[in-house]
Amino acid sequence: MATDKAYKVLAMAQGISNSKAKELIDKGIVYVEDKKVKIARADLSVDTIFRIEYPEKIEILYQDEDIIAINKPAQVDSYDIQDAINGAVLLHRLDKDTSGVLLLGKNEAFVARAITEFKARRVEKHYVAWVEGVVFEKMEIDEPIFTIKKGKAFSMIDPLRGKNAHTLVSPEEIQGKKSKVRIEIRTGRTHQIRVHLAHVGHPVIGDEQYGSRTQAKRVLLHSSQIKLLDYEFNATEPKDVAKYK
């Protein structure tokens, strides 16, 4: 059976350039049946049938002269959204796999005010997620997090080197051995929710990096609400989070 590099097979199948095919694989939106193609140089059969799942259109929740609130689709990088909106600056960021409320500032004075609020922990951030295992009572996770940022960021619980991190988890729904939970974070460490939930034995579904054994098209985590200064923004849960199939 003839094989070739995944990006070359995809390029031929789609009638696109090799570089464009590699870019699509690197963005994490190329699938063979239900499995994501993760390595552009992996060998695949030249007869492989691909499926490309383009991200949903980016929805603007609200904007005025100071701020723009986006309902970020999963599989879109926060910085790509910043680049797409002329003159806007990210006030925070969401992991590529995480969907939901993402805020950008539209002028220097407001950006400075907003960043002060984030640093002072006066911003309310609420999330919803599906996790492994049965969660039937509220949890408060207060474990310091240390992040290694060489290459792909990786965080861990580390009492000596870690920075203070605080996460509140409330159960909402149980389906078999999976649970839907609501989360509030008072701090904004890299991968905080994912690391804290994994630490208590309930990794977010689809989060292979932190120990989920359940395959999913993405990490099932959604930023549902943010309150900043006098603003409050809410993002409707996408289908994959609203109901676990």
> Which residues are known catalytic residues?
95
Which tokens belong to 68? 């723009």
Residues 6+ apart with CB under 8 A from 239: none
How far apart are alpha carbons 112 and 91 in whole angstroms?
9
The secondary structure element, H or E, covering residue 244 is none
Q: In DSSP terms, which residues pair with 63 in a beta bridge? A: 68
How far apart are alpha carbons 4 and 88 in whole angstroms?
42
